[in-house]
Structure 1
Amino acid sequence: MPEELVVALPGRPVPVLGRGERLVTWSAEDLASTHDVRRVWDLAAVGRLLDGLRRTDPAAVWAAAHGLPAPPRVQDQPDLLAAAEDPSHPTSDDGQLNPAWLRERSADEPDRSASLALEVQRLQEERLRGLPDLRTDPVVAPLPVLTAWSESAAALLAVELGATGLPLDRAVAAAYLEEHVGPRPRDEAEARRQREERDAPVHARFPGPAVDLRSPAQVKELLGRVGLDLPDTRSWRLEAHAGAVPAVAALLAWRKAERLSTTNGWAWLDGQVTPAGRLHGSWGAADAAAGRMTVSAGLHSLPAELRHAVRAEPGHLLVRADLGQVEPRVLAAVSHDPGLVAATRQPDLYAPVAAALGCDRPTAKVAVLAAMYGQTSGTAGAALRRMERAYPRAMAYLRTAEEAGRTGQPLRTCGGRLVHAVPPVGQEAAYGRFTRNAAVQGAAAELFKAWAVTVRDRLLGTGAEIVLCLHDELLLHVPEDSAPDAVQLLHDALASVGSWWAAGSGVGFRTEVGVGASWADARTG
């Protein structure tokens, strides 16, 4: 018996779901006050998945579902045109959703509003069911449909993460900033003086007049004074010279302190962390590239040293879980390469890969990562060439994804996400490398989010909560006595997700879990 779909309408209470019912909403943001919703289809989230939408207002989602061109934003329309709109019908003559009806009548016609949302859901699901399912054993439902449900739940999780916030000890953070940035400035004049004091040790290392260290062009000229003619001033390029040139080492140390000051300094602590000690960011369920979760407030770039300040509240612990070697394991699942699949059954995937390539483990790791990122030379060049013989199906999968980017052909992840890849003239090679990686990274993001929302579902009502999703890492804030249960839950949830996400592949997924009072203490392993 099919499940019944119930529509959540903006501005109205969220309906209570009965057994066998699922919620359809234009956006999970409309469910911000409801933290016990388990089954949701987010029309905007599915629009991002299916059509790569960057706009997710109802009119844009409606247009994409019906194969119509993107409508103008309501705020972009001239007032005179808006005044002439007829609000009596939900759609216009051209088939677009009528902005005037949405503004003035949709709340008064709930049945009609619900039918529009259900029509979009039906069209989205029909298209998802028409996409290929790359699994060898397509259990339960097509993978793109399952991905739509998990992406919808991830959109709800993003809303909750923003509301919950990350527990952060302000005193610990302040002590670290005082040591590495300087005392809290009383005013802008003192802040400027502190910047000059941080700059001084670098200027002392270079001959000639001082320059603006925040200007790449001026820093490039500065490096020329010590005999370095470099194409750019990126840190990874400078690191190769830091051991031999003390001035470069000083510049890199300055950059670290400057980045801390500007991104996670006093202004960040005062403006982003509440007096109660919660850091709130604005979360997104999928970026516009490969669909990874995003967040503001400096959370994704939080320096490792500040992880000591991310501390559990009294009576609680932090449980950290990291998907181990997830991208090569995902590559094995989506390419069905038998040799790589066999390697995933080992705790350390790179050990059998090294044996197959006839090299040491570090070289094998570099070769696998280079293959996924489109690197074809360097220290792992010989091992990369041997990968073609050892893992031909995996390499063929990557080449196909790269060719799509080079030629501007549509590319979808295994879960159905449309990856935008229309290369500008002259940048075909770069776009090919992007799509080569996006096919794997996007699939890994879908696996991670399916795992995260499964964990979320099983935590509801336990007093534990997810407080951070960082790349391939989950951070849970749990009552102290339930930490062992949370550890087991993380392992069980991954096993459950792997059983349907990679059904029939034989791929093994692993998570490393650690528990501690702070994020830094909750080391995995």
Structure 2
Amino acid sequence: MPPEALSTPAGYLRPDAVAGTWQTTPQRLHAWAAAAYDCGKRRWDALGRNEVWRATAVSESSAAVLCLELERDGLPIDRPGMEALIARSAGSRPRDAADGLRIRADRDARVLAHTPGHEGVDLRNPGAVKALLAAIGIDVPSTRKWLLEPYREAHPLVPALLEWRAQERIATTYGYHWLDTHVGPDDRLRGGWTACDGAAGRMTAENGLHNLPAVLRPAVRAAPGHLFVRADLGQIEPRVLACVAQDESFAAATASDDLYAPVAERLGVERARAKVAVLAAMYGQRSGAAGEALAGLQRAYPVAMGFLDRAYEAGVAAQDLRTYGGRRIRTAGSLDPGSRGRYARNALIQGAAAELFKAWASTVRVTTADLGAQVVLCLHDELLVHVPAEQAAECAARVEQALTDAARRWSGGAPVRFVTDTSIVERWSQAKG
């Protein structure tokens, strides 16, 4: 293959170009940029005149740029605070490997002290833990947390074991090695970001950025002279359903800050039951109280319910679907027909919600840049924006306006209201939710 050729004889990009090591001269950079532009133009032209699909393509591309900035800039961390929180769960920083083993053994011993005669049980072996529980009269099919929770009062071993698991997760996954490896000298936590994780379409991140334990969140702290604007989309899935189903009656309910209140009034039931009905419709629960409430919802909002039913039927038939923004959802596979149907129904809503979120995040990135603001975290339906303290109030107002603007563009002007719970905080843990 000629050294200046961007593609192989078979028509594929050369591997070193994909890795970024080939572009070492202006001529090669030009060839790479020209190929990227041509690819983008071809894909843009393939969208035709569908304005919603085009708007999604723009926001998806912008989200990819945002991912690069998130990787570059990182999430501000209070390093001494994080070290103290890790120590609270994992113990003090080990002096050496032997000290690490001693700390680990001490952590185990505090649990096994509740069962004299069983000091040698390996708490990291689910089978051994299940046998230990059986020895004290607790017979469970597995040792999953949700199965053990009802037994908290039955024996002191259970709460000790559950606490140990939380501490063990910190020690092994978010301990001192994690802190030293992924938090840089500038006290920023960094990891790789992906703009789209597949069918759900959500942004994802590595190195704990997307699954940081709640006990460590107090150490996510704005830099001196800065604050966080934290914003979380409210009741996003049912509001998205009203939009993608084009149900005018259901869309009218979104005018309320609490969508479930007008739905409850229309159904003539309590708010809690209305919420159960809406969630059951989207997530597929059809039995018990959910099934009873769902019947009323189908009578009150037949357009939205018909949309979900058609998605379910398409999934059962293993037919491909497209999200509101045009991304393809493949339903064929090894799942049974019922599981495929539930997956298809949920993927249409979750996928559309992810598209709206990225349109919002991309808009926030642009409209707050002149304030010195940076988007530093995108977590499911939640944004964390780092901003100079004196600009925080203005940034919060722009974050909320960005949602209105992004939703209008993404939805094509659909009469659906989207809301966000926005707060200004120094530490991530200070935000409610």
Q: State the partner residue of 2:94.
A: 185
2:251 and 2:145 mapped to 1: Cα distance?
Answer: 36
Alignment identity in percent?
48
2:44 partner letter: E
Partner of 2:324: helix, strand, or coil?
A: coil
Partner of 1:380: helix, strand, or coil?
A: helix
Q: What is the alpha-carbon root mean square deviation over aligned residues?
A: 2.8
> Can you give the 5+ residue segments of structure 2 that lack an aligned partner in the other structure?
none
Q: State the partner residue of 1:492.
A: 401
Task: Give, in angstroms, the shift of residue 262 of structure 1.
Answer: 2.1
> Can you give the 5+ residue segments of structure 1 that lack an aligned partner in the other structure?
1-84, 134-141
1:268 and 1:396 mapped to 2: Cα distance?
Answer: 48
* Aligned ranges 1:295-306 → 2 under 5 Å: 295-306=205-216
Could you say if the C-alpha distance between residues 119 and 345 of structure 1 is closer, same or farther in structure 2, counting changes exceeding 3 Å?
same
Task: Give, in angstroms, the shift of residue 491 of structure 1.
Answer: 1.3
* Aligned ranges 1:82-481 → 2 under 5 Å: 85=1, 96-97=11-12, 99=14, 108=27, 116-129=35-48, 142-206=51-115, 209=118, 210-424=120-334, 427-481=336-390
The question of whether the paired residues in 2 share the 8 Å contact of 1:88 and 1:105 is answered with no
1:306 and 1:100 mapped to 2: Cα distance?
Answer: 40
The question of whether the paired residues in 1 share the 8 Å contact of 2:111 and 2:160 is answered with yes
Once the two structures are superposed, residues 77-129 of structure 1 have per-residue CA deviations (whole angstroms, 9 ceiling, x without a partner) of: xxxxxxxx4678766776x3363896699964777655544442233123322
The question of whether the paired residues in 1 share the 8 Å contact of 2:255 and 2:417 is answered with yes
Could you say if the C-alpha distance between residues 114 and 252 of structure 1 is closer, same or farther in structure 2, counting changes exceeding 3 Å?
closer
Could you say if the C-alpha distance between residues 507 and 185 of structure 1 is closer, same or farther in structure 2, counting changes exceeding 3 Å?
same
Partner of 1:318: helix, strand, or coil?
A: strand
The question of whether the paired residues in 1 share the 8 Å contact of 2:76 and 2:187 is answered with yes
* Aligned ranges 1:63-82 → 2 under 5 Å: none
1:146 partner letter: A
The question of whether the paired residues in 1 share the 8 Å contact of 2:320 and 2:328 is answered with yes
Task: Give, in angstroms, the shift of residue 308 of structure 1.
Answer: 1.5
The question of whether the paired residues in 2 share the 8 Å contact of 1:412 and 1:418 is answered with yes
Partner of 1:192: helix, strand, or coil?
A: helix
1:120 and 1:487 mapped to 2: Cα distance?
Answer: 37
1:121 partner letter: G
The question of whether the paired residues in 1 share the 8 Å contact of 2:52 and 2:412 is answered with no
Task: Give, in angstroms, the shift of residue 223 of structure 1.
Answer: 3.5
Partner of 2:224: helix, strand, or coil?
A: coil
Per the normalisation by structure 1, the TM-score is: 0.74
Once the two structures are superposed, residues 129-173 of structure 1 have per-residue CA deviations (whole angstroms, 9 ceiling, x without a partner) of: 27xx6xxxxxxxx11111111111100100101111111111111
Task: Give, in angstroms, the shift of residue 335 of structure 1.
Answer: 0.9
Greater percentage in helix:
2
Could you say if the C-alpha distance between residues 179 and 115 of structure 1 is closer, same or farther in structure 2, counting changes exceeding 3 Å?
closer
2:31 and 2:187 mapped to 1: Cα distance?
Answer: 44
The question of whether the paired residues in 1 share the 8 Å contact of 2:55 and 2:409 is answered with no
Task: Give, in angstroms, the shift of residue 287 of structure 1.
Answer: 0.7
The question of whether the paired residues in 1 share the 8 Å contact of 2:4 and 2:28 is answered with no
1:388 and 1:241 mapped to 2: Cα distance?
Answer: 39
Partner of 1:454: helix, strand, or coil?
A: helix
